[in-house]
C-alpha cells in the first residue's frame, strides 16, 4: 500500500539528479496525487485513455506542475490524443510512428519531445528498435519538424536474476554515448530512461538518469 513514508524512503535511495517517472498504470487519482504531493512531478502512463482520465480528474493547478509521459507502446490511431495531453512520448520505435507524432503535433502547433525505444533484449515479443538500427532511425527522426528526440529508453528482458539485466543496460548506455558523439543535428541526447521497480538501482549504476517506478512506489496493483 502506498504511504508517504514509503515514497520518501524511495526518494532517499535515489540521487537527486535522477529523474523519477511514477508509472501510474491502473492507479487511483488519490495515489497519483500522493506521489505528486511528495515531489514526484513526472507521471507515466501506458495507455492514452487512462492518462486522459487522470488529467480530467486532476486539479488544473496540479496539472500545470507535472510532466505527463507515455511509457507504453503507442498505436498510430492514438497519436493525436496522446500529443494533445502528453509532455513526452518514450516509446518511438519506427519512422512511421515518429512521422505521425510530428504530423499530429503540427496540427496543434506543438513540438513533442520523444525518446527512441531500444529493444535491448532483442525479444521478438517486445516493441523497440534493434540497437544496430538506432542511428538510422535517429537520423530519420531528426528531419521531422514537430518532434524532438531527447534520448533513449529501454526495458530489457524480465529475468529471475535481477543482476542479469546489467549487460542490457550497459549496452544501451554505450549506444546512448555513441549517438551523443555523432552530434546528429536537431537531436539532444539528454535522457537515458532505464530501470523499473525491480532493477532501478542497477540501471542508475549503469548510467540511467531517468527511471520509471510503479510497484515500488504504489505497492502491488489490486
pLDDT confidence of residue 46: 97
Determine the Cα–Cα distance for residues 168 and 183; give it in Å rounded to an integer: 23
Distances 209 to 18, 58, 171 between C-alpha atoms, Å: 5, 27, 15
DSSP, res 17? T
pLDDT value at residue 8: 83
Q: Which residue ranges make up each domain of the chain?
A: 4-218
Per-residue confidence (pLDDT) for residue 109, from 0 to 100: 98
Residues 116 and 128: their CA atoms lie apart, in Å, by 8
Residue 78 to residue 135: CA distance in whole angstroms: 26
Does 1 score more than 90 pLDDT? no
Which secondary-structure segment (H or E) carries 121? none
- pLDDT for 7 equals 85
pLDDT tens figures, 2-34: 667 778 888 888 999 999 999 999 999 999 999
Residue 16, C-alpha cell as written in the block: 537527486
User: 109 — alpha (psi -120 to 50), left (phi > 0) or beta?
Assistant: left
Q: How confident is the model at residue 150 (pLDDT cuts 50, 70, 90)?
A: very high
> Is pLDDT above 90 for 86?
yes
- What pTM was estimated for this model as a whole? 0.95
pLDDT > 90: what percent of the chain?
86
Class of domain 4-218: alpha beta
Closest CA to 131 of 165, 99, 169: 169
The 10s digit of each residue's pLDDT in 170-220 is 999 999 999 999 999 999 999 999 999 999 999 999 999 999 999 989 887
Amino acid at each position: 500500500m502506498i504511504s508517504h513514508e514509503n515514497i520518501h524512503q524511495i526518494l532517499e535511495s535515489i540521487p537527486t539528479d535522477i529523474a523519477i517517472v511514477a508509472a501510474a498504470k491502473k492507479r487511483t487519482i488519490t495515489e497519483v496525487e500522493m506521489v505528486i504531493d511528495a515531489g514526484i512531478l513526472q507521471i507515466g502512463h501506458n495507455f492514452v485513455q487512462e492518462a486522459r482520465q487522470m488529467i480530467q480528474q486532476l486539479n488544473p493547478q496540479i496539472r500545470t506542475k507535472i510532466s505527463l509521459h507515455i511509457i507504453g507502446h503507442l498505436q498510430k490511431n492514438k497519436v493525436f490524443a496522446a500529443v494533445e495531453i502528453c509532455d513526452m512520448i518514450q516509446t518511438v520505435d519506427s519512422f512511421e510512428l515518429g512521422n505521425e507524432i510530428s504530423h499530429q503535433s503540427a496540427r496543434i502547433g506543438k513540438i513533442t519531445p520523444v525518446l527512441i525505444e531500444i529493444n535491448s533484449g532483442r525479444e521478438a515479443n517486445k516493441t523497440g528498435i534493434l540497437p544496430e538500427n538506432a542511428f538510422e532511425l535517429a537520423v530519420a527522426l531528426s528531419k521531422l519538424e514537430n518532434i524532438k528526440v531527447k534520448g533513449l529508453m529501454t526495458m530489457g528482458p524480465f529475468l529471475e536474476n535481477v543482476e542479469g539485466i546489467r549487460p542490457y543496460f550497459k549496452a544501451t548506455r554505450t549506444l546512448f554515448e555513441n549517438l551523443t558523439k555523432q552530434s546528429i543535428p536537431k537531436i539532444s541526447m539528454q535522457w537515458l530512461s532505464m530501470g523499473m521497480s525491480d532493477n532501478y538501482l542497477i540501471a542508475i549504476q549503469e548510467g540511467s538518469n531517468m527511471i520509471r517506478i510503479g510497484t515500488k512506489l504504489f505497492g502491488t496493483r489490486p
